[in-house]
Amino acid sequence: MKKVIAIVMILGAGNFAFSQGAVMTKYFEKYSSDEDFTKVSVSSKMFSLFTELDANTEDEKEFLDAISKLKGLKAVVGENVESAESKRMYSSAVADVDKEGYEELMTITDAEENVKISIKESGGKIEELILVAGGKSKFALLSLYGEIDLKKISKLASSMRVHGMQHLRNLDDDNDDDDRN
Amino acid sequence: MRNTLLITLLFLSTLGFSQESILKDFAEDRRDVKLCFYPSTLRMINIKNDPSYYELVNDVEKLLIFIMDADDSSTEWTNQYRALGYEEYITMYGKVNLVLLGKDEEYVGLSGDGNRVAAFYLRGTIAFQKIPELIRTFESGDMLSLIKFNMDQ
């Protein structure tokens, strides 16, 4: 009986781990051979290189501190996407994210672009942040995973030139009182 | 005993050679430009004697760069390195391709668009913390750009 429970628990844990990256995996596979969509993957090995940098200012120190706790970044970015297609993709991606149980953190809607930022928490810590952006001609799905500090993540947004990351700068203003981490 | 040691050394040297040769086998017949740098040639580029550059390349034992026309198979050779246990640092696929893989003190990668691609093999270690300073040095024109020189030929 104990063996059966253990097997069920292992299978359950396996499914949970898989579901964490399921949205990103789906979009990576879907657009793998479409050159109009750029697929970016940055591993923890790359982030660990940043820890060797010397911080000269407080901002740089915060940036390096934030980046050292990340385990990876994945993004699918489409440019020159038709407006109707971009809106359809945005709605579809948001539905996929919601279905996977992510918690909504912020939504930005303006004439240029719709953006939704969602998170997945475990043990009171944010372990994945997922951003969906769809505009007049662009679509972006971006996932950051590892140990994420919302107060420091805006520093990354200013430093990384990946479409969609700029929206994370808003987290600094909107989460000053947030004590998630 | 001596024979065993000799065989082991030969085997290890073959391994080292074969890992470099994956890229060579792929690129030799396709490349327009081949650049091979050793510590002495790497130092020659530094015409303004920038100390950051020396620190960056000080532990680089060998750097091979192949520049060639891009086609559908331009990134395929990297899978052979993945199969050997080289880990991904960064990958980008789309209109612009970028791959950096590494294992122990060996790095391979490529950078390019739909027309041209530069593939490299590096043995040794790089002082990554010096890269921002080095980029500034390159941008200020204090470094002899052999790659640009060769591309202009």
Flag if B94 and A38 touch (Cβ within 8 Å).
Answer: yes
Residue B90 sits at the chain A interface (C-beta within 8 Å): yes
Mutation choice for B interface testing from A38, A50, A79 by most B CBs within 10 A: A38
The whole-angstrom distance between B92's CA and the closest CA on chain A is 4
> Which residue in B87, B100, B129 is closest to A52 by CB distance?
B129
* pLDDT at position B19: 83
A134's CB contacts (< 8 A; 6+ apart) are: A86, A87, A89, A90, A91, A93, A113, A114, A140
Residue B102 sits at the chain A interface (C-beta within 8 Å): yes
* pLDDT at position B145: 57
Pairing of strands A113-122, B116-124: unpaired
Average pLDDT rounded to a whole number, residues A166-180? 57
ipTM at complex level = 0.74
CA–CA distance, A110 with A137 (Å, rounded to integer): 14
* pLDDT at position A18: 38
- Report the predicted TM-score, pTM, of the whole model to 2 decimal places: 0.76
For B99-138, write each residue's pLDDT tens digit.
999 998 899 999 998 899 999 999 998 776 666 666 565 5
What is the percent of chain A with per-residue pLDDT over 90, rounded to a whole number? 35
Which chain A residue shows the shortest CA-CA distance from B91?
Answer: A41
| Range among B12-16, B79-83, B138-142 with highest mean pLDDT value | B79-83
CA–CA distance, B140 with B50 (Å, rounded to integer): 12
pLDDT band for A166, please (50, 70, 90 cuts).
low
What is the percent of chain B with per-residue pLDDT over 90, rounded to a whole number? 39
